[in-house]
Amino acid sequence: MKHTKGAVEVITGPMFCGKSEELIRRLRRAAIAGQNIQVFKPGTDTRYEIDKVTSHSGYEFDALPVEDAGKIPDLVKPETTVVGIDEAQFFNDAVVGVAQELADKGIRVLVAGLDTDFRGEPFGPMPVLMAQAERVDKLWAICMVCGEAASRTQRLIDGEPARYNDPVIVVGASELYEARCREHHIVPGK
């Protein structure tokens, strides 16, 4: 089934809020509806299987790893009606134009990614994707300190908060990161 209008939907929030799980849920619903789906992820995301989008809770969906978001349009098949893009914050700014180009062609584009980095600052192309999307869903996690709603990602190095000038991109999961609320999100040197 072809969509009559394309659109960009962004699923965002901190780590452990369920972004990839929500992306997979929407992709599965599109599959049930008989839509043709292709999913892309950064080749740098090697935490789980390289050819799957995988949530921390174990849900997965087949995906094609790509190094450059600008290559995605050339990989989209003519019959594709839904494109999923996971971990969009790791792509270069070309992902913004790609999402718009695909939506302009009538494709439903589902994008998932962190809205902020471990410092609490806008992450890569996500702010522009969020601004240009037809729909944005910001999910919350649970603060690992107090149990309240968490909107931040805390990076830990040997159990201590990472410093502001530490590298922005370090791929990892629970051993390096925690969800935190504003009050308990700590960035020494900020």
* pLDDT tens by residue, 148-185: 999 999 999 888 999 999 888 766 544 689 999 999 99
- CATH label of the domain that carries residue 13: 3.40.50.300
Is residue 179, in this structure, part of any structural domain at all? no
Please report whether residue 24 resides in a domain: yes
Identify whether 155 is part of a domain. Answer: no
Number of domains observed in the structure of the chain = 1
Residue 14 lies in a domain: yes
For 79-126, write each residue's pLDDT tens digit. Answer: 999 999 999 999 999 999 999 999 999 999 999 999 999 999 999 999
159 within domain boundaries: no
Domain boundaries, position 81? 7-140
So which residues are the catalytic ones? 87
Reported in sequence order, the residue ranges of 5-163 that DSSP labels E, i.e. its strands, are 7-13, 37-42, 52-54, 60-62, 64-66, 82-85, 108-114, 135-138, 141-142, 149-150, 152-157, 160-161
Q: Is residue 49 part of a domain?
A: yes
Separation of alpha carbons 154 and 162, rounded Å: 8
On whether residue 178 sits in a domain, the answer given is: no
What three-state secondary structure class fits 69?
A: helix
Give 91-101 pLDDT, tens digit per residue.
999 999 999 99
